[in-house]
Amino acid sequence: MKNITKKLWNPISGTVMIAALVICLALYYYDFIQMQTLASLLLVALLISRSIHIADQWEKAVVLRMGKFKGLRGPGIFLIIPIIDQIDKYIDQRVRVTDFKAEQTLTKDTVPVNVDAVVYWTVWDVEKAALEVQEYERAIFYIAQTGLRDIIGKHELADILQEREKIAEDLQKVLDHNTNPWGITCQTVGIKDIIIPQVLADAMSKEAQAERERRARVILGTAETEIAHKFSEASERYQKNPVALHLRGMNMLFEGLKEKGSMVIVPSSALDSMNLGALGGLVSLSKTNDSNDSLPID
């Protein structure tokens, strides 16, 4: 709609036409010119106004002369020959974006997915874009959609979910290969969203939870193995050094008895081997004496 309006009307041509119309009517009103002259002047003003066109800074105008490609005009103001020349279209050379999607597309492992993507592209050769393809915007949309479906069909679901950047890069190369002959380059492709069936999403969630539990059990088992290994090393050291074992036993007993109201159960073999019986008696006697000292005297 914008292109059609720009072909027929722009501020400069409109101003020229209005000024010419006012001047001609004024001359006719004061009898400076006749009706035939007025009509001729208005026709000339119309042709002049139709020859003036403007292209925006980011646009190029495609000019055809008698149906053949004449050249490109713009940006800025330019003139054409009325009736003989015509402007076919204005082509925007800015970076543009196109959304596209692939719905219910089967992956390599036969999983239906919906993928939303976006492509950023620009026209780098206006002449090719005007002459080689009729509706390049629509063509880019369909090529992008078809390329996305093909790439999804060549990859498994896990690859699509984990390697979005690689999928987007492969699709960008495919699009760029197809659009380059049209004077169009696809700069970037982005995967916006990947939607999988809810049942499959629940199954994958359970699988991930089971994997986390498995890893936790493996870590716990590894810790138990390391602890057992350390205990084995400690037992070998204590076996070679009975004094160290004796001191360790005394320390353990002391730590257990220093808390008030605590009870420590020690195997009889440990009492005999580390002479803990006498030590335990001394500790108990000390606690009894402390209790007696704390009782009030009548």
What's the total number of domains in the chain?
Answer: 4
Asked if 145 and 118 count as a contact pair (C-beta separation under 8 A), the reply is no
Lowest mean pLDDT among 47-51, 93-97, 131-135, 268-272: 268-272
Q: Which of 169, 196, 223 is the last residue of a domain?
A: 196
Q: Is residue 102 part of a domain?
A: yes
Pair (234, 245) in one structural domain:
no
pLDDT at 209 over 80: no
Tens of pLDDT, residue by residue over 250-286, are 666 666 666 655 565 655 555 555 555 554 554 554 5
Q: Is 261 left (phi over 0), alpha (psi -120 to 50) or beta?
A: left
Establish if 78 belongs to a structural domain: yes
200: nearest Cα among 113, 93, 105: 113
Give pLDDT, residue 103. Answer: 85
pLDDT at 216 over 50: yes
Is 187 contained in some domain?
A: yes
Confidence of residue 1 (pLDDT cuts 50, 70, 90): very low
Instruction: Determine, yes or no, domain membership for 191.
Output: yes
List the one residue out of 102, 186, 187 whose CA is nearest residue 152. 102
How many whole angstroms separate alpha carbon 171 and alpha carbon 28? 67
Query: Which pLDDT tens digit goes with each residue over 98-146?
Result: 999 888 888 888 888 889 999 999 999 999 999 988 889 999 999 999 9
CATH number at residue 161: 3.30.479.30
Query: Of all helices (H) and strands (E), which one includes residue 97?
Result: strand 96-106
Listed range (3-7, 86-90, 226-230) with the worst mean pLDDT? 3-7
Residue 287 backbone class (left: φ over 0; alpha: ψ -120 to 50; beta: rest): alpha
- Given 143, 178, 196, the domain boundary residue is 196
Q: What is the mean pLDDT of the chain?
A: 80
Higher pLDDT, 276 or 63: 63
Which DSSP symbol is given to 296? P
Q: Is residue 293 part of a domain?
A: no
- pLDDT band at 96, cuts 50/70/90? very high
Q: In this structure, how many other beta carbons lie within 10 angstroms of the beta carbon of residue 189?
A: 25
Shared-domain flag, residues 216 and 177: no
pLDDT at 64: 93
φ and ψ at 55, to 5 degrees? Answer: -115, 135
Torsion sign across C-alpha atoms 205, 208, 214, 216: negative
Decide which of 166, 181, 196 is a domain's last residue. 196
Residues facing residue 190 across a β-bridge = 118
Within this chain, do residues 78 and 131 fall inside the same structural domain, yes or no? no
* Angular region, 49: left φ>0, alpha ψ -120 to 50, beta rest: alpha
Q: Which amino acid is at 127?
A: E
Range of the domain at 48: 2-92
Q: Is the pLDDT of residue 33 over 70?
A: yes
- The token pair at 108 is 């390599």
Q: 126 is written with which tokens? A: 């206006």
229 and 152 both lie in a single domain: no
What's the pLDDT at 297? 47
Q: Is residue 294 part of a domain?
A: no
Strand partners, 96: 121
Confidence band, pLDDT 50/70/90 cuts, at residue 223? confident
pLDDT for residue 267: 59
